[in-house]
Amino acid sequence: MGFVHDDFLLSAKTARRLYHDFAEHEPVLDYHTHLPTAEIAGDRQFHNLFEIWLEGDHYKWRAMRANGVDERFCTGDAAPFEKFQAWAKTVPHTLRNPLYHWAHLELKRYFGIDELLDGNSARSIWDRANAILNSGDLTARRILRRFRVLALCTTDDPCDDLTHHKALAANEKAFRVYPAFRPDNALRVDAPQQFNAWTDRLGKASNVHISSLKDFLQALDRRHEFFHSMGGRLSDHGLNVCFSDFPSEQTTTAIFEKARNGRAASAEEHRKFASYLMLFFGQLDARRGWTKQLHLGALRDANTRRMRELGPDTGFDSIADWDQVGSLCAYLDKLDQEQSLPKMIVYNLNPADNYAVATALGNFQDGQIAGKMQFGSGWWFLDQKEAIEWQVNALSNVGLFSRFVGMLTDSRSFMSFPRHEYFRRVICNLLGRDIDNGEIPNDDSLVGPLIRNICFGNVRDYLGLELGSGADVRGEQVKVR
């Protein structure tokens, strides 16, 4: 029996039964990804394991650097196999890191490879996997069909023309690809060169001549409406903390004009401007019935030298310990007072804040929409077994786990879809342990629907997106309960 077997991560008979009976065959709605839509629309064929597995994966780069691997083999000019071999030699050193689980689960699910990856097995695994990749069986679209993905959401700038989303809507029936509105650049009055270049792009995309704050807001509204016309029903914001220092329109106008004149906003002015904009974005989402996502608590680009050399998203970010809950509650309260509080999923990166964030969201459940305010799945450094259990336990203790919208990959890689399986195994193991301990009833009619809903049903109903037909690579239909 290989390392990744049928009962992987399932420690007892009850957990195994729950997974195989209720979780294993549920389809996937991956509602937050960073997948490149052009590669889906073009049905990219990957030619080697570097292209599909290592290209752009800062999780692996961090581990390789920690293992003493030179940057040339991470982001540098080493040949594809040299980079893969450097990763393979690192893998044995990742024992007890989730990378070890993910690597072997992915090799098993994509290529049927049971062999442990290390420096000695690297060449054999490289050759076997590459043969499958070059056969055409694992193109971008075939991967989505194989993993029963009925819909996914990408992460898109408001200026994006969504050309590839249009093409996919016209010619792909097995799954749907929807844009998610990510307007982080709209807040950057502290960096006027970046802000003004982006604002000019926004004006062109929206066909609005932007000479005032009013024009700026009109342009954003038009792009939000365009995303809506393309099926988009989610927005997303990556924030250190929520902004809740709400200024007057007059003050916001002055800050906007200052930035448009090339002068950087102060830290206080940036907070005020961002607070005004985040309130506006909440109003847009509420008006159009969208779900807002907040990703809170990442300390990004902490290594200045590496940021200058390699740019962002290269593996130099960490968990921050900023005060989250006061500003989060103030932001939600302001939207609620104005009757503009949309459905919302809040992802917290510091596990020390789990209970505080979960209870903050409970203050704003409205009794109209089940699970309206969602304590989102553990993300980034927290999408691993221990932290998944932390998030689930906090939610269970102060909220309703039964209404949880479940897992997402948050990934740039087409090799990440087994993360849904990983999550499902973890929650079935947790629930199985609860049953074996006598803490919840051993009643399939109670626990079975809960598992199915957390895997798929809840997020399907919560987002209300049109789903694909679910035909897999063999032409079979995926059953949707």
Q: Does one domain contain both 302 and 388?
A: yes
Q: Does one domain contain both 390 and 282?
A: yes
Q: Is residue 343 domain-resident?
A: yes
Q: Does one domain contain both 456 and 321?
A: yes
Taking only the tens place, the pLDDT of each residue in 165-195 is 999 999 999 999 999 999 999 999 999 999 9
Taking only the tens place, the pLDDT of each residue in 279-294 is 999 999 999 999 999 9
Q: Is residue 401 domain-resident?
A: yes
Q: Is residue 455 domain-resident?
A: yes
Q: Does one domain contain both 155 and 127?
A: no
Distances, alpha carbon 284 to alpha carbons 8, 54, 310, 326, 340, in Å? 44, 38, 36, 23, 8
Q: Does one domain contain both 251 and 382?
A: yes
Pairing of strands 234-239, 291-296: parallel
CA distance 255 to 177: 37
Q: Is residue 31 domain-resident?
A: no
Domain range for residue 415? 148-463
Q: Is residue 313 domain-resident?
A: yes
Last residue of a domain, one of 134, 169, 196: 134
Which secondary structure element, helix H or strand E, spans residue 219, and what is its range? helix 213-229
Q: At what angle do helices 249-260 and 192-206 cross, to 10 degrees?
A: 100
pLDDT of residue 471: 58
Q: Which two tokens stand for residue 266?
A: 């102060």
Q: Does one domain contain both 111 and 225?
A: no
Q: What is the pTM of this model?
A: 0.96
Q: Is residue 211 domain-resident?
A: yes
Whether the Cβ atoms of residue 315 and residue 65 lie closer than 8 Å to each other = yes
Number of domains observed in the structure of the chain: 2
Q: Does one domain contain both 305 and 420?
A: yes
Q: Does one domain contain both 59 and 114?
A: yes
Last residue of a domain, one of 111, 134, 157: 134
Q: Does one domain contain both 244 and 273?
A: yes
Whether the Cβ atoms of residue 3 and residue 114 lie closer than 8 Å to each other = yes
- Core vs surface per residue 46-72: b (16+ CB within 10 A) or e: bebbbbbbbebbbbbbbbbbeeebeee
pLDDT of residue 1: 72
Q: Is residue 16 domain-resident?
A: no
Q: Is residue 236 domain-resident?
A: yes
pLDDT of residue 231: 98
Q: Does one domain contain both 152 and 257?
A: yes
- The domain that holds 356 is classified in CATH as 3.20.20.140
Nearest CA to 10 out of 408, 392, 383, 433 is that of 433
Q: Does one domain contain both 80 and 215?
A: no
Q: Which two tokens stand for residue 11?
A: 């420690």
pLDDT of residue 470: 83
Backbone torsions φ then ψ of 237, nearest 5 degrees: -140, 130
pLDDT of residue 336: 98
pLDDT of residue 319: 96
pLDDT of residue 426: 99
- The domain that holds 107 is classified in CATH as 1.10.2020.10
Q: Does one domain contain both 234 and 349?
A: yes
* Residues 6 or more apart whose Cβ sits within 8 Å of residue 349: 295, 296, 297, 298, 319, 320, 379, 380, 381, 382
Last residue of a domain, one of 88, 111, 134: 134
Instruction: Using 50 as the pLDDT threshold, list the residues of the chain that sit under it.
Output: 473-478
